[in-house]
Every structure is written in C-alpha cells, then in structure tokens.
Amino acid sequence: MGKAHSSLLFAVAFSLSFYGQATADELRCEGPFALDTTHAKLVTAFGAKNVSREIIYGPEGVTFKASVVFGKDTARRLEVIWDDEKAGKRPARIHFSGTGWSIGNNLHVGSLLAEVEAANARPFTLYGFEWDFGGMVSSWKGGALEKLPGGCAAVAHFEEDQNSAEEALTKAAGDHEFSSQDAAMKAVHPKVMVLGVQYSRK
C-alpha cells in the first residue's frame, strides 16, 4: 500500500481533567495517548469498562487488533491502532468519526476543506474519491498539521458531497493526488468524515 498505507497510522492524545481523568474534548498527543502509552495505560486512564480490544477493518481488507475507547458511545468512540498489536504498545494511529472530539484549531468531523487548509496554513494534497483510500490526506506539505505538539501529525479523511453534479464527482475521483486548491476537488465540497493523529514509524 506504500505511501497511502502511512495515512493509516494514527495516534491521538487526550487532555486531562483536574482529577487526572482523561476527558473527551480536544485530542492531544500527551497524557494517556502520548508516544509511550499502552493498552494498560488506557485502562488506567479511562476505566476497564470504557476500554476494549476489538478487531477493526481498514481499507483493502486490512484488519487491526485495536484498543477501543468509549466503544459504545458513537460520538466519543476512538480506535487505537498499535505497532505492537499483541502487546498493545507503541501507538500508531487513533481515529474518530464522531462529534465528541476535535483536534488542533477546532477541527472536527464535518470541517470543510477550506477550514482544514486554513488550519494547516498552506494547501495540502489528498487522494481522489471512489476507491479504498479515497479522500485521505496524502501530505500536509510541511504545514502546521504535519507537526503537532507531542511529536504527532494530523490525519484526515474527507468525503465528497454526493449531491454534486455527476460530472464534478467524476473529475474528483480516482487513485491519484489532488491539491486542496484544485478546482475539481473544491467543486464536490469535501467535508471531514474521519480525523485523528499519527506517530511516525521508526
């Protein structure tokens, strides 16, 4: 899967409340989701009833044995993918598709293409739609979302507006990269459907 596969490697971090319990608000690469976190630390932070191990599915039939936080709450559900799946160590990716979370600069599910570009402080590239990796950001092009506090990078997966003209949808499809400034991409009014962060594999 090459470069596209790297887009699957996410990790995210929670802010801490006054009493030391992780809270569902802005996700940060610190605390229970810092680079040194483990499944056991998630259980300590969120409680055993709120953390489970589940098989989740990625593009092209790939499966992961992930740690899932708040699995029964669709707004706050987070899926944590590990480099060491068996031991539940070395976070690679955490992503969310619900409304209970945001990442830096108040990006959230439903954010518009232009809002993400503004947060990045420069254009970025994403894959065309209508295939397994469709809508995934492929590069932040050195922008602000490429280097977040805590040593992680943002990741985002967009969806097109299916009410767009058929010709526009066709022009924005395919397994190649588009600039966020591309007129063909703007014409289908993409919105974020999945957000998260990743740590680089070393």
**pLDDT at residue 70 greater than cutoff 70:** yes
Answer yes or no: is 26 within a domain. Answer: yes
Q: Are residues 76 and 115 in the same domain?
A: no
Q: Are residues 108 and 193 in the same domain?
A: yes
Q: Are residues 77 and 156 in the same domain?
A: no
Quote the CA–CA distance of 110 and 18 in Å, as a whole number: 29
Give the domain range for residue 131: 104-197
pTM of the model: 0.84
State mean pLDDT over 54-67.
92
Structural domains in the chain (count): 2
Residue pLDDT, tens place only, 83-108: 999 999 999 998 999 999 999 878 99
Answer yes or no: is 143 within a domain. Answer: yes
Number of neighbouring beta carbons within 10 Å of residue 54: 11
**pLDDT at residue 10 greater than cutoff 50:** no
CA angle, residues 123, 194, 36, in degrees to nearest 5:
95
- Name every residue whose Cβ is closer than 8 Å to that of residue 64 and which is 6 or more positions away in sequence: 55, 56, 57, 58, 81, 82, 85
Cα–chain center distance at 87: 22
Answer yes or no: is 202 within a domain. Answer: no
State mean pLDDT over 26-55.
94
